[in-house]
Amino acid sequence: MICPHCKKEIKLERGEIQKLGMIKKASQGNHMSRTPFGYKWENKKLIPAQNFREVEEIFEEFLQEDMSLANLAKKRNFSVNGLKKILKNFAYIGKIKFNGQIHNGNHKPIISSILFNKVQDKLEGLKRKK
């Protein structure tokens, strides 16, 4: 590989080459990890699945004043960690998060960024209370 700045050849390890490829893929808006709950793959593209409305319900239920992570996880038959992964997943607002960077995705969002941000605020508040 040639460095774009100094034009010298750089030797990269196999893992580094893979990571660069994944960063490029994410920056182009392509989802690379496990299919998020509420989506499915069709023609190599993420699209909302039949259960996509459940995602919005989960986000809205979590915002209820008396709803805890544990209670919602139990109600929806998820583990608490599984529920947290859903609630923190940028895919639901049409974004891709990879390597600390957030990119616009090539898929349709399921929820609004306003709803997503309200949930992130509640999750942060829970962290601060610990």
Q: How much is the pLDDT for 117?
A: 97
Question: Per-residue pLDDT tens for 100-126?
Answer: 889 899 899 999 999 999 999 999 988
Mean pLDDT of the chain: 86
In this model, does residue 5 exceed pLDDT 80?
no
Q: How far apart are CA 84 and CA 79, in angstroms?
A: 9
Q: Tell me if 9 is assigned to some domain.
A: no
Q: Tell me if 8 is assigned to some domain.
A: no
Least confident of 10-19, 70-79, 110-119: 10-19
Q: Tell me if 77 is assigned to some domain.
A: yes
Task: Using pLDDT thresholds of 50, 70 and 90, give the confidence band for residue 82.
Answer: very high
Residue 15 phi/psi, 5-degree rounding, is -65, -35
Q: Tell me if 5 is assigned to some domain.
A: no
Q: How much is the pLDDT for 128?
A: 77
Q: Tell me if 54 is assigned to some domain.
A: yes
Q: Tell me if 3 is assigned to some domain.
A: no
- Coil vs helix vs strand at 58: helix
Q: Which conformational region is residue 71 in: left (phi greater than 0), alpha (psi within -120 to 50 degrees), or beta?
A: alpha
- Largest CA-CA distance found in the chain, in angstroms, rounded: 59
Residue 88: which domain range?
Answer: 14-129
Average pLDDT over residues 73-86: 97
Domain count, the chain: 1
Q: Tell me if 97 is assigned to some domain.
A: yes
Q: How far apart are CA 126 and CA 94, in angstroms?
A: 25
Q: How much is the pLDDT for 108?
A: 95
Q: How much is the pLDDT for 83?
A: 97
Question: Per-residue pLDDT tens for 24-36?
Answer: 766 766 777 789 9
Q: How much is the pLDDT for 14?
A: 65
CATH of the domain at 115: 3.90.1750.20
Q: How much is the pLDDT for 10?
A: 62
Q: Tell me if 4 is assigned to some domain.
A: no
- CA nearest 52: which of 75, 86, 22, 82? 86
